[in-house]
Amino acid sequence: MVAARTIKIMRSAVVPISSRRHSGILSVYAAIVMGFMVLVILEGAVVRATGSGAGCGDHWPLCNGVFFPHHPRLATLIEYTHRFLTGICTALLAVLIGWTFLARPRGHRARRAAVWSGVLLITEALLGALLVKGGYVENNASGMRVLIQCVHFTNTMLLLAAITLTWSWLRDRPQPAIAGRRARSAAWLALGTTLLVGALGSVAALADTLYPPASLHSALLADFTAHAPLLVHVRWLHPAFALLALGCAIWLAVQIRGGLGRLVLTLIGLQIFLGAMDVLSLAPALMQVLHLLGADLYWIALVFACAAVLAPRPGLQSVPSRGTSAPGEPQRFNFQKRIL
């Protein structure tokens, strides 16, 4: 009943009818940019999984010193495609930022999220350039490469989060707003553990690329053998922390309930299944790409759900999360009464 009341309040949020269609197109465009960004991320995994990171030599932004590579080998094609898609994505994002600034008033949070997307895209490109220029590609197994790889992947996740928030805050559709201290703690924990799992996943992916497992038995043994390379040694941390992230996601889903909670749980369940398949099939490139796609979809859903908890839309009343107050007790949270 409380949820129905909230939806009613949200529907009545003041949005001029004339601007609704325009807003709708803008949020669809933001969703397209988000989908394109996922494509670029997946292509990045293809570059790593096929060892094509040096396909353009140590040249950046040119490829082997030229704009269009002549008679490219496969590695050059793969790396060049990644750079080409990144260029298109940059242009799409620039349009999104400009459009958001035109369509939303000063101080609107979609504007802030759009600016963050731009900033994180620049740092993403700089980190990618650092990998190429510093020679942290192909068979380089140095600690520095591992560190840059982790930072690079964390930046990727933050970039995807910023675009997700831009899209989410451009939408004029009702979105559930959930209040409560426990829900907020669960949201922060779920976000934090997933970021950690992602960074550790990028290390596991690097380990599988540099030291491809010969068999499941030898791969599992190598994780705990004293003389195994450090990269292989820390591989088990990724699935271990994924279970911790699962615990946090379950706690979050219990707090927020409803379709959003079920979506988060379904996607993390699918992701853990894909991870297990990845290990059992000795991480072929296709499986790696599928697992990364699962991670991106889960991350988008999680950020969307956490936004409803941590930054509900101004001007809307909030639904209490589970356990916020006992039946009949007065609510223990502050209603959001600000007007946009």
Would you say 170 or 302 has its CB closer to ligand HEM? 302
Number of residues counted as binding ligand HEM (CB under 6 A): 26
The yes or no reply on residue 164 touching ligand HEM (CB under 6 A) is no
The yes or no reply on residue 124 touching ligand HEM (CB under 6 A) is no
Contact yes or no for 193/248 (Cβ under 8 A): yes
Q: What are phi and psi of 319, to 5 degrees?
A: -90, 135
The yes or no reply on residue 167 touching ligand HEM (CB under 6 A) is no
| Least separation in angstroms between CB 227 and ligand HEM | 21
Site string for ligand HEM, 278-307 (x = CB under 6 A): xx---x----x--xx--x--x---------
What is the rounded distance in angstroms from the CA atom of residue 255 to the CA atom of residue 236?
30
The yes or no reply on residue 252 touching ligand HEM (CB under 6 A) is no
The yes or no reply on residue 272 touching ligand HEM (CB under 6 A) is yes
Would you say 69 or 201 has its CB closer to ligand HEM? 201
| Least separation in angstroms between CB 213 and ligand HEM | 9
Burial 58-76 (b: 16+ CB within 10 A, else e): eeeeebeeeeebeebeebb
| Least separation in angstroms between CB 48 and ligand HEM | 6
Would you say 292 or 316 has its CB closer to ligand HEM? 292
Q: How many CB atoms lie within 10 A of CB 276?
A: 13
What is the rounded distance in angstroms from the CA atom of residue 20 to the CA atom of residue 61?
40
Q: Please identify which residue in the block is written with the tokens 């979105």.
A: 175
215: its two tokens: 């068999």
What is the rounded distance in angstroms from the CA atom of residue 112 to the CA atom of residue 150?
25
Would you say 6 or 271 has its CB closer to ligand HEM? 271
SS3 129: helix
- Chain Cα centroid distance, residue 90: 17
Would you say 40 or 242 has its CB closer to ligand HEM? 242
The yes or no reply on residue 128 touching ligand HEM (CB under 6 A) is no
Q: Please identify which residue in the block is written with the tokens 């949200």.
A: 10
What is the rounded distance in angstroms from the CA atom of residue 69 to the CA atom of residue 77?
8
Would you say 300 or 307 has its CB closer to ligand HEM? 300
The yes or no reply on residue 82 touching ligand HEM (CB under 6 A) is no
Please name the amino acid found at residue 252. L
| Least separation in angstroms between CB 61 and ligand HEM | 22
* Measured torsion, CA atoms of residues 207, 210, 213, 218, in degrees rounded to the nearest 10: -70
Site string for ligand HEM, 227-246 (x = CB under 6 A): -----------xx--x--x-
Q: How many CB atoms lie within 10 A of CB 27?
A: 21
257: its two tokens: 């309930």
Contact yes or no for 208/48 (Cβ under 8 A): no
Would you say 71 or 217 has its CB closer to ligand HEM? 217
The yes or no reply on residue 312 touching ligand HEM (CB under 6 A) is no
Applying the rule CB under 6 A, the residues between 177 and 216 that interact with ligand HEM are 194, 197-198, 201-202, 204-205, 208
Please name the amino acid found at residue 293. L
Interface contacts to ligand HEM, rule CB under 6 A: 45, 194, 197-198, 201-202, 204-205, 208, 238-239, 242, 245, 268, 271-272, 275-276, 278-279, 283, 288, 291-292, 295, 298
